[in-house]
């Protein structure tokens, strides 16, 4: 990845600049705007864990951006680059994201400064449990106050450890498993959470292709079928997005940019095969389904219809934005485009679907998981068979009295009541469609906002401001 120049803003300043651009169009008191923009608190903890016969000190963060709604929500990232600026920027984005897609949470984010590759599973478990204990002491993990989720470098495994540690510490709290989301299904997780962010990106892209005016602005036609795509990062978000849009919608993934190199194939990369290859531990260079090159900073500028940055922040910056050759960027990662690059791309006419909307699928399904946990019942458990019985009666009546004949497959599909995964996908699709339409409506009512990102900020800030104005501070 190419480095941005020293003139580039840091991540938080970049998010604030985008926020300020939207706020400048609003008729809201500057004092209230400031209250909404600032991060309420950031807790930094240093703790020791005895490993390999020695004490190792780790630094962890949990930032709470806004508590206008509780619990606050946001992932926990494991990366050697985690720092206060980063978690505060990510926590702010969580506040705006949840407001935009009407998920009733405030914004938070956390991180642990370590490289997961440096520690084995048992060691990571001990570190995670100790971090959970530190967070729990300050109610920074809590079913009704602060609910972490996975992010870069963490997944179901870490969430299971965190939940279990919290449950041990608070065994009389009947809602204790709602302290984190993104847990394995057998430990109170929900079907569809692992894939949720990538699935949400797919639904956002499908929604984009339903809007002729937006396609025209981007210079695109038709639907996802046959569109050339460059993806950066084949982790949770990048893998699921690339898999779904290539296998289900016919998009052609021509470049995958990973930490260890780049894979290109003009005919389209088999994403499942590439992912299995990566999981097998073989080097990327040994993958036979495409042409490999060493880490190449220019790969993000490969010509394509759609660019999907799905790795980390700040990868499109003022030094490479001029060279980006795509029509549409969908920000699957948080903050992949810096504020300065955003301006360059807007001037070039690149259409950007912003992170706060594009990757909201994760927090949306986390919300469903949390509701399931505090409801203590799986979605669809009460209704499924009732729905099935009604559908069966309808089909029988139509066949007997209406002289209609349905195929066996149709009958089976129609009669079967919805499973939890069906309900989760339907709820996610609805949220992504509604989010896109809310941004578009904001733009229609305020054409001076010009672009989707500014409209998304405008909509989120308006809703949070209304909240504060209605209840006072």
CA-closest candidate to residue 100, choices 446, 471, 436, 470:
436
Identify whether the C-beta of residue 115 lies closer than 8 Å to the C-beta of residue 80: yes
In whole angstroms, what is the distance from residue 195 CA to residue 208 CA? 20
Scan for tokens 């992949």, then name that residue.
336
Instruction: Give the containing element (helix H, strand E) for 215.
Output: helix 212-218
Among 40, 197, 326, 454, binds ligand NAD (CB under 6 A): 197
Residue 35 among the catalytic residues: no
| Near ligand NAD in 139-158, by CB under 6 A | 150-153
Asked whether position 310 contacts ligand NAD by CB under 6 A, the answer is yes
Closest to ligand NAD by CB, 365 vs 415, is: 365
- State in angstroms the smallest separation of the CB of 152 from ligand NAD: 4
Q: Is residue 195 at the binding interface for ligand NAD, with CB under 6 A as the rule?
A: no
Q: Which of 154, 155, 137 is nearest to 146 (CA)?
A: 137
- The nearest distance, CB 471 to ligand NAD, in angstroms, is 28
Supply the angle between the helices 84-100 and 361-375 in degrees, to the nearest 10. Answer: 80
Residue from 1, 26, 395, 434 that binds ligand NAD (CB under 6 A)? 1
**Judged by CB under 6 A, which of 3, 259, 376, 437 binds ligand NAD?**
259
Residue nearest to ligand NAD (CB): 235
151 vs 302, which CB is nearer to ligand NAD? 151
Residue 330 near ligand NAD by CB under 6 A: no
Phi/psi of residue 267, nearest 5 degrees: -80, -10
Report the residue number, 195 or 420, with the smaller CB distance to ligand NAD.
Answer: 195
Closer CB to ligand NAD, 45 or 76, in the complex: 76
| Strand order across the 291-293 sheet | 291-293, 261-264, 252-258, 228-232, 306-309, 328-330, 351-353
Nearer to ligand NAD, 235 or 449 (CB): 235
Which residues, 226 to 255, sit near ligand NAD by CB under 6 A? 232-238
The one catalytic residue in 109, 183, 340, 372 is: 109
Backbone angles phi, psi at 382, to 5 degrees: -80, -35
Instruction: Determine the Cα–Cα distance for residues 189 and 174; give it in Å rounded to an integer.
Output: 16
Q: Which residues bind ligand NAD (CB under 6 A)?
A: 1, 150-153, 197, 232-238, 257-259, 310-312, 332-334, 359, 362
Residues marked as catalytic: 109
């Amino acid at each position: 990845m190419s480095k941005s120049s020293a003139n580039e803003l840091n991540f938080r300043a970049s998010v604030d600049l985008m926020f300020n651009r939207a706020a400048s169009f609003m008729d809201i008191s500057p004092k209230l705007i400031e209250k909404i923009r600032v991060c309420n608190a950031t807790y930094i903890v240093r703790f020791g864990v005895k490993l390999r016969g020695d004490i190792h000190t780790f630094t962890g963060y949990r930032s709470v951006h806004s508590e206008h709604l509780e619990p606050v929500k946001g992932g926990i990232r494991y990366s050697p680059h985690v720092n206060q600026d980063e978690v505060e920027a990510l926590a702010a984005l969580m506040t705006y994201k949840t407001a935009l897609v009407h998920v009733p949470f405030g914004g938070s984010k956390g991180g642990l400064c370590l490289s997961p590759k440096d520690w084995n599973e048992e060691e990571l478990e001990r570190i995670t449990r100790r971090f959970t204990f530190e967070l729990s002491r300050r109610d920074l993990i809590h079913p009704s106050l602060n609910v972490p989720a996975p992010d870069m470098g963490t997944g179901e495994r870490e969430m299971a450890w965190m939940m279990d540690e919290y449950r041990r510490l608070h065994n009389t709290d009947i809602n204790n498993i709602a302290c984190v989301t993104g847990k394995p299904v057998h430990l109170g997780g929900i079907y569809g959470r692992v894939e949720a962010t990538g699935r949400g990106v797919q639904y956002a892209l499908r929604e984009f292709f339903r809007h002729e005016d937006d396609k025209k602005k981007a210079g695109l036609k038709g639907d996802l079928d046959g569109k050339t795509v460059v993806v950066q990062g084949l982790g949770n978000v990048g893998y699921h997005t690339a898999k779904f849009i290539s296998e289900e919608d016919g998009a052609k993934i021509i470049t995958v940019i990973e930490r260890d190199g780049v894979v290109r194939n003009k005919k389209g990369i088999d994403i499942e095969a590439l992912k299995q290859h990566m999981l097998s531990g073989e080097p990327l260079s040994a993958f036979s389904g495409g042409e490999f090159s060493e880490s190449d900073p220019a790969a993000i500028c490969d010509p394509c219809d759609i660019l999907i940055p799905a790795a980390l922040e700040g990868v499109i910056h003022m030094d490479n934005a001029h060279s980006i050759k795509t029509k549409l960027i969908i920000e699957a990662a948080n903050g992949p485009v810096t504020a300065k690059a955003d301006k360059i791309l807007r001037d070039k006419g690149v259409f950007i679907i912003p992170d706060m909307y594009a990757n909201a699928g994760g927090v949306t399904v986390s919300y469903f998981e949390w509701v399931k946990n505090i409801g203590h019942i799986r979605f669809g458990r009460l209704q499924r068979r009732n729905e099935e019985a009604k559908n069966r009666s309808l089909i029988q009546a139509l066949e007997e009295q209406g002289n209609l004949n349905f195929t066996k497959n149709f009958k089976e599909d129609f009669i079967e009541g919805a499973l939890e995964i069906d309900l989760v996908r339907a709820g996610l699709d609805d949220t992504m469609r509604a989010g896109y339409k809310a941004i578009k409506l904001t733009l229609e009512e305020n054409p001076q906002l010009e672009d989707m990102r500014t409209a998304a900020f405008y909509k989120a800030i308006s809703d949070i401001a209304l909240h504060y104005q209605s209840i006072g501070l």
